[in-house]
């Protein structure tokens, strides 16, 4: 599988994907309350005092007249609690069981793109993948004439496709929300291929990638295929990527060719693309579609591919770091976060610290694009010491926010000084 939820590598990967931390009962089981949950968390409570080398990336001079942190000194960054101890920016496992989680705490508006070596990975290249042979993509099925595309063919037509975000459908607390990254891509739009080389006789197409491994996986099953409609591919501006961040795709990121579905979960952005097959309306759902049905918000596990809803990323938001500052003789906190997904620009974003508090407008937020991501920050003065659950919401009932509404992206910190 080329994307999806982390399941079973080590105990911290067993956390459920969907639950609301503010609810006590789920599925008939009584959950511990907020303080009990935090007390039993894998990381425990407390703050992590980062080295000056890491803080220097954030603690730049703040000279704006209305900036509440103007003239202050950043002391530390609080560690999020209740999340796994999974290492960040480090590869774990191999093949289908390989994972690398990106460290989002270092993000800033000045660097929107994730370096290739830190871009998240869900499944590494198989040992059986022979990169020495000429690579072709077989285009067949219900077409007027089969076509074999070569990497050289694609290279001649490739063009800049811009920055696009990718999020694994299994991006959870168990992964420290690190299955989320942005790259600047080069590739060939699917619409260009359809207009020039491919003449299909149907409106439904399966994109497939190499997915054979010498060892059985503990977390997934082989089979990297997803069925789309031609209109879905065109509407999302899907493309076959050959480069990311100005370099040829790395092997683990799908070299020599991978599909990119902007705005869709990563399980649909098939790696190592080797076949494009046009199929009929009654084509069965692939094993990958079935495995990721729950994570892509399907209704049950449909048997037919046509019954699957687009695996689109809803509007989402979360904090990526909480900074502790000393300003004018007082302790203040700045919450920094990102917003991504969806298709409508958000005019107002709201934040809440613990269920008993009211939502308030995020103090510094402006969105100009849904892809890749937008940054926001909020000045915060906690009322008391203790544990705080930070939750965001979009102040627009017309914007769909399934995961955000469920509490999926709630993050917690422990405040020990005010």
CATH assignment of the domain containing 372: 2.60.40
Q: Would 24 be classed as within a structural domain?
A: no
Q: What average pLDDT is seen over the chain?
A: 86
The pLDDT of residue 46: 33
CA–CA separation, 260 and 236 (whole Å)? 9
Is residue 220 in a domain?
Answer: yes
Q: What is the largest distance, in Å, between two alpha-carbon atoms of the chain?
A: 75
Residue that terminates a domain, selected from 272, 307, 342: 307
Grade residue 66 by pLDDT with cuts at 50, 70 and 90: confident
What distance in Å separates the CA atoms of residue 403 and residue 343, rounded to the nearest whole number? 15
Q: Are residues 249 and 328 in the same domain?
A: no
Asked if residue 354 and residue 267 are part of one domain, the reply reads no
Residue 259 shares a structural domain with residue 401: no
The pLDDT of residue 64: 66
Burial degree of 247 (CB within 10 A; 0-12, 13-18, 19+): exposed
What pLDDT does residue 195 have? 87
Choose one of 254, 277, 307: the last residue of a domain.
307
In a domain, 292, yes or no: yes
**In this predicted structure, what is the pLDDT of residue 132?**
79
Distance, C-alpha 151 to centroid of its chain: 27
269 and 327 share a domain?
Answer: no
Choose among 9, 7, 1: nearest CA to 212: 1
Residue 20: inside a domain, yes or no? no
Do 106 and 185 have their domain in common?
A: yes
Task: Name the token pair of 76.
Answer: 């530390």
CA distances from 122 to 49, 87, 94, 114, 403 (A): 30, 14, 10, 15, 20
Mean pLDDT of 211-222: 88
Cα separation, 77 vs 376, in Å, equals 16
In this structure, are 176 and 56 located in the same domain?
no
Does one domain contain both 115 and 171? yes
Q: Whole-model pTM?
A: 0.85
283-339 pLDDT, tens digit per residue, is 999 999 999 999 999 999 999 999 999 999 999 999 999 999 999 999 999 999 999
Q: Say which CATH number the domain at 106 has.
A: 3.90.420.10
- The residue among 278, 392, 297, 279 whose CA lies nearest residue 335 is 392
Please state, in angstroms and rounded to a whole number, the distance separating the CA atoms of residues 228 and 268: 9
pLDDT per residue over 335-381, tens digit each? 999 999 999 999 999 999 999 999 999 999 999 999 999 999 999 99
Residue after which a domain boundary falls, among 307, 337, 361: 307
What tokens does 12 get? Answer: 């911290």
Residue 9: pLDDT over 70 = no
What confidence category does residue 99 fall into, taking pLDDT thresholds of 50, 70 and 90?
very high
Distance, in Å, from the CA atom of 184 to the CA atom of 246, rounded to the nearest integer, reads: 7
Same domain, yes or no: 118 and 151: yes
32 in a structural domain: no
Binning pLDDT at 50, 70 and 90, where does residue 65 land? low
- With cut-offs at 50, 70 and 90, classify the pLDDT of residue 133: confident
Averaged pLDDT for residues 214-222 = 86
For residues 116 and 211, membership in a common domain is answered with yes
Q: What percent of the chain has pLDDT over 90?
A: 78
Looking at the fold, whether 174 and 293 belong to one and the same domain comes out as yes
Verify that 346 and 211 share a domain, yes or no. Answer: no
Domain span including residue 184: 95-307
Is residue 68 one of the residues assigned to a domain? yes
Sign of CA dihedral 250, 4, 111, 93: negative
Reply yes or no on whether the pLDDT at 261 is more than 50: yes
Percentage of the chain lying above the pLDDT 70 cut = 84
Structural contact between residues 382 and 322, judged by C-beta atoms closer than 8 angstroms: no
Q: Looking at 125-134, 230-239, 324-333, 349-358, which range is the least confident one? A: 125-134
Angstrom distance (rounded) from CA 207 to CA 377: 39
Angle at 107 between CA 365 and CA 343, to 5 degrees: 50
| Strand ranges in 152-285 using DSSP code E only, listed in sequence order | 159-167, 180-189, 204-209, 224-229, 239-244, 247-248, 258-260, 273-279
Q: How many domains does the chain have?
A: 2
Amino acid 41: pLDDT: 33
- Give the span between the Cα atoms of 131 and 135, in whole angstroms: 8
350 within 8 A of 393, measured Cβ to Cβ: yes
- The per-residue pLDDT for 20 is 45
Q: Which long-range contacts (CB under 8 A, 24 or more apart) does 71-74 make?
A: 71/327, 71/328, 72/325, 72/326, 72/327, 72/328, 72/332, 73/325, 73/326, 73/327, 74/323, 74/324, 74/325
Residue 39 lies in a domain: no
Residue 164 falls inside a structural domain: yes
Same domain, 293 and 220: yes
Residue 54: its pLDDT value, please?
36
| Cα distances (Å, whole numbers) of residue 262 to 47, 235, 318 | 36, 10, 20
- pLDDT value at position 60? 42
When pLDDT is cut at 50, 70 and 90, the band that residue 1 belongs to is: low
């Amino acid at each position: 599988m080329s994307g999806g939820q982390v399941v079973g590598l080590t105990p911290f990967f067993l956390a459920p994907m969907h639950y609301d931390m503010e609810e006590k009962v789920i599925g008939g089981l009584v959950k511990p309350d907020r303080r009990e949950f935090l007390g039993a968390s894998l990381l425990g409570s407390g703050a992590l005092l980062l080295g000056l080398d890491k803080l220097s990336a954030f603690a730049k001079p703040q000279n704006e007249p209305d900036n509440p942190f103007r003239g202050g000194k950043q002391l530390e960054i609080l560690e999020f609690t209740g999340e796994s101890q999974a290492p960040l920016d480090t590869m774990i496992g191999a093949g289908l069981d390989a994972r690398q989680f990106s460290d989002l705490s270092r993000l800033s508006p000045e660097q929107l793109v994730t370096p290739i070596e830190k871009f998240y990975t869900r499944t590494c290249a198989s040992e059986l993948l022979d990169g020495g042979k000429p690579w072709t993509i077989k285009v067949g099925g219900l077409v007027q004439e089969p076509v074999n595309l070569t990497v050289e063919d694609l290279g001649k037509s490739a063009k800049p496709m811009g920055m696009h975000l990718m999020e694994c459908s299994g991006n959870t607390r168990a992964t420290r929300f690190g299955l989320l990254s942005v790259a600047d891509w080069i590739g060939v739009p699917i619409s260009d291929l359809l207009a020039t080389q491919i003449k299909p006789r149907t409106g439904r197409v399966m994109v497939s990638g190499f997915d054979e491994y010498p060892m059985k996986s503990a977390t997934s099953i082989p089979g990297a295929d997803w069925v789309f409609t031609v209109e879905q591919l065109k509407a999302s501006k899907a493309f076959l990527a050959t480069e990311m961040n100005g370099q040829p795709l790395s092997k683990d990121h799908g070299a020599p060719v991978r599909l990119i579905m902007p705005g869709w979960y990563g399980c649909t952005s098939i790696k190592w693309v080797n076949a494009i097959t046009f199929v009929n309306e009654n084509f069965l759902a692939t094993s990958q579609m079935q495995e990721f049905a729950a994570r892509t918000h399907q209704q049950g596990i449909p048997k037919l591919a046509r019954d699957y809803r687009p695996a689109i990323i809803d509007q989402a938001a979360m904090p990526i770091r909480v900074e502790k500052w000393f300003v004018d003789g007082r302790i203040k906190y700045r919450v920094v976060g990102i917003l991504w997904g969806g298709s409508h620009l958000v005019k107002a974003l709201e934040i809440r610290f613990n269920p008993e508090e009211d939502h308030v407008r995020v103090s510094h937020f402006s969105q100009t694009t849904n892809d890749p991501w937008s940054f926001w920050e909020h000045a915060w003065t906690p009322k008391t010491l203790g544990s705080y659950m930070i939750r965001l919401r979009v102040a627009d009932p017309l914007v769909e926010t399934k995961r955000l509404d469920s509490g999926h992206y709630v993050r917690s910190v422990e405040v020990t000084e005010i």
